[in-house]
Amino acid sequence: MQGAAIAETLRGCAKRPLLVIAFGKAARSMGRALVDLLPGATMRGLVVPPEPDDAPLPPFEVIAGGHPLPSAKSLRAARRALELAHSARNDEPAVFLVSGGGSAMLELPADPSVTLPELHAFYRALVGSGAAIGEINTVRRHLSAVKGGRLAAAARGAHRHLTLLVSDVPAGDDGGPTRDVASGPTTSDPTTIADCRAVLDRYGLLPAVPPALRARLERGELQAPPGLDDELFRRASIWVLLDERHARQAAMQVARERGWHAIAVQEVDDWPYERAADELLRRLDALHQQHPGRPVAVITTGELSVPLPADPGTGGRSQQFALYCARRIAGQPIAVLSCGTDGIDGNSPAAGAVVDGTTIARARALGLDADDHLRRCDAFTLLDAIGDTVITGPTGTNVRDVRVLVHAG
């Protein structure tokens, strides 16, 4: 029903010329789908997929942005997106196609004197601080010239606004979590600068804020994002096309087709990875005790917290979780899959990993120490050496991580 309503809304908008701005890991697939859905429609705009994907996608401009850290092209893409938004005419609906990864791929600091190395250092500190995604995005929204509804505000002249989301943030029914997709460039922001400062203080991040932004923050000179009462958002519609629930439902369907007794567990979202692994393995063992002799599975989606050391190795939260599980399940008839649905886990070329009861023994046979690799957040190096990584390449979507823990019975 929702898909039909979205298509009908878009066809109605397409009776006028459309201004389209797409950014995030699903930007190319979303932009192409819009063109296919509305043949003959008059469109102009910008598509910002992940670097290095800068292939043409008529009728749009394409500027590939950086991820997980903003690049020079991320800044260029944000400036161009703002230029296009400011050019919106009152006969043009503005269509924003937003997906995960857009926080880095479309970025412009609130102070133009901030350098790219300063921005990189801040992003590394913020993402590696252990803060939850909502806290991270509260900070991003207040220190950016494009996030926190500012891109929508630049397009005030448009006939109306329509935002379509592929969500990589916790799924919710009240619409609030949608503000965290790409740090909400087209949605209202209920947070305050005091909320931003509280996150910075809580995680000791203030020294990592670029000096120009820190000075403006301390002098109270940063402009607040558009709030909930801004009339702009009365002309706006927001639709979630895909989120982690779709990934979880697909995994549960596969489990049922294989004859496994499977349960979904969502309580561990944003937990530290060790605590989440311990709890999920406990739930798996309880399920095995209840159904002896039958394969059982625990399925969960979402993201976990992995504070980074000063000089991390190669890996990501999915592989860190998988390697920790491998230590816990050594010698047991258990397998654990942990992968990012975008096909990229952290700073590695892998989507994640599949480990089992033999992983640690195979690593030791090569002289690899799991504890050392966990300590250095270098899980990819070990897991790839023994063939346990999952490498898919970018998938063109991003609906958080999927974890499947299976006991063979």
Report the topology of domain 2-108+144-189+225-242.
Rossmann fold (3.40.50)
| Secondary structure of residue 237 in the 3-state scheme | strand
Read off the pTM.
0.87
Q: At 176, is the pLDDT very low, low, confident or very high (cuts 50, 70, 90)?
A: very low
Residue 175 has pLDDT above 60, yes or no: no
Residue 401 has pLDDT above 70, yes or no: yes
The per-residue pLDDT of the chain, averaged, comes to 93
The whole-angstrom separation of Cα 284 and Cα 274 is: 15
How confident is the model over 253-269, as pLDDT tens digits?
A: 999 999 999 999 999 99
How confident is the model over 213-235, as pLDDT tens digits?
A: 999 999 999 988 887 778 888 88
Widest CA span in the chain: 67
How confident is the model over 290-326, as pLDDT tens digits?
A: 999 999 999 999 999 898 888 999 999 999 999 999 9
Query: Where do the domains of the chain lie?
Result: 2-108+144-189+225-242, 245-407
The whole-angstrom separation of Cα 89 and Cα 21 is: 14
Residue 359 has pLDDT above 90, yes or no: yes
**DSSP tag of 340:** E
Convert 113-126 to b/e letters by CB count within 10 Å (16 or more is b): ebeeebbeebbbbb
Point out the least confidently predicted range of 135-139, 169-173, 209-213. 169-173
How many of the other CB atoms lie within 10 Å of CB of 64?
Answer: 22
CATH number, span 245-407: 3.40.1480.10
Q: Which residues lie below 8 Å from residue 119, measured CB to CB, with a gap of 6+?
A: 69, 70, 107, 109, 210
Q: Are 28 and 50 in contact (CB under 8 A)?
A: no
Of how many residues is the chain composed?
409
How confident is the model over 56-83, as pLDDT tens digits?
A: 999 999 999 999 899 999 999 999 999 9
